[in-house]
Amino acid sequence: MSEQKARQQKKTGSGQGSGSPDLFDLWRQWLDRSERQMNTVLNEVMGSPQFNQAQARMMETFLQMQSSFGELTQRQFSLLNLPTRTDILELGERLREVDERLARLEEAVAALDRTGPREEKRPRKKPRRTKKPPSSREDAAKDEKPKKVRKKKTSGRKKTTKRTASQSED
């Protein structure tokens, strides 16, 4: 019972027998009751199929708006010649693939270096020469074809003859 008396004293204002309830306690009790009532009402509403349908429609609308906004943003970025998030992600993926291929090539080269050369290669044969170089200048002079000599023109003017009046009428 002493516990109940302590609660009673807290409610009445630290043990004074004034009999008037504390305003803070009244407000707290009202808040607790209204919170419980709201909780039960909202649980009933959220459990209804109408609420689930409305929430599903709202989510669909939101997703449509989000995709429209994404497309619009992508078009604007392409007009400004700027990369989008997907462009950068694709570029990162391609770079990762190139890095992996490079790592594999480096491993293959390292494996070849460890094993050493497999067989000694034969020296490569040079192609046969069909023409032999001239042994001296005399041979070179014999092999050369005589150059054609062009005649110089004496004058750039053509000779004209005088025509008579009877020749020009024809």
Mean pLDDT per block of 10 residues along the chain (170 residues) reads: 59 54 89 95 91 94 95 91 91 97 93 73 76 64 60 59 55
Task: Determine the pLDDT at residue 132.
Answer: 73
Task: Determine the pLDDT at residue 12.
Answer: 56
Scan for tokens 């494996």, then name that residue. Answer: 111
In angstroms, the Cα distances linking 62 to 58, 66, 146 are: 6, 6, 92
116: left (phi over 0), alpha (psi -120 to 50) or beta: left
Report d(CA 17, CA 8) in Å as an integer. Answer: 10
Task: Determine the pLDDT at residue 143.
Answer: 56
Q: Which residues have CB under 8 Å from 25's CB, separation 6+?
A: 10, 11
